[in-house]
Amino acid sequence: MFLTSFALATTLAQSSLAPANQPKLLADVGSWAGTVSQVADYYWLKSNTVLFWRQVWAESPILFTLKLSTTQVQESKLAKVINDSSGSVESISVSPNGEKVLWESYKDKQSSWSIANIDGSEYKQFPRRKTSMIVSNHGPDDETIAFWSTDSKSVFESIIDFGDGAFTRLWSRPIDSINKERSYPLAKGYVDWQPVMIGKNLAFAKSGLANGGPRSSVGFITWNIENPKLTRKAWTVNVPKGRTIVNFSHSPSGTEILWDLSVKASKEPQSWDSKGEEFWVSDVRGKSWKQVYRIDFDPKNAGADASALGGVMWRPDGRAFSYIYKKKLYLVER
Interval 108-119 mean pLDDT = 91
Helices (H), the chain: 78-84, 228-231, 302-307
Per-residue pLDDT band for 208 (boundaries 50, 70, 90) equals confident
Q: What is the pTM of this model?
A: 0.87
Percentage of the chain beyond pLDDT 70 is 85
Domain layout of the chain by residue ranges: 129-238, 240-334
Q: Which pLDDT belongs to residue 110?
A: 84
Coil, strand or helix at 128: coil
Per-residue pLDDT band for 20 (boundaries 50, 70, 90) equals low
**pLDDT, tens digit, for every residue of 308-323?**
999 999 999 999 999 9
Instruction: Decide which of 96 and 142 is more confident.
Output: 96
Q: Which pLDDT belongs to residue 271?
A: 65
| pLDDT surpasses 50 at 16 | no
Instruction: Decide which of 71 and 165 is more confident.
Output: 71
**pLDDT, tens digit, for every residue of 121-178?**
999 999 998 755 444 444 444 578 999 999 999 999 998 877 667 888 899 999 999 9
| pLDDT surpasses 60 at 220 | yes
Instruction: Decide which of 189 and 294 is more confident.
Output: 294
Instruction: Decide which of 21 and 153 is more confident.
Output: 153
Tell me the average pLDDT of the chain. Answer: 86
Interval 107-125 mean pLDDT = 92
Q: Which pLDDT belongs to residue 9?
A: 34
Q: 129, exposed or middle or buried, with CB in 10 Å at 0-12, 13-18, 19+?
A: middle
Interval 84-88 mean pLDDT = 91
Interval 88-106 mean pLDDT = 94
Is residue 175 within 8 Å of residue 124, measured between CB atoms?
yes
| pLDDT surpasses 90 at 57 | no
| pLDDT surpasses 50 at 2 | no
Q: Which pLDDT belongs to residue 148?
A: 97
Interval 97-101 mean pLDDT = 96
What count of Cα atoms within 13 Å lies in the side-chain half-sphere of residue 222?
Answer: 14
Q: Which pLDDT belongs to residue 165?
A: 72
Strand extents, DSSP E, 118-215? 124-127, 145-148, 154-163, 165-174, 182-183, 187-188, 196-199, 202-207
Distance (Å, rounded) from C-alpha 21 to C-alpha 148?
A: 31
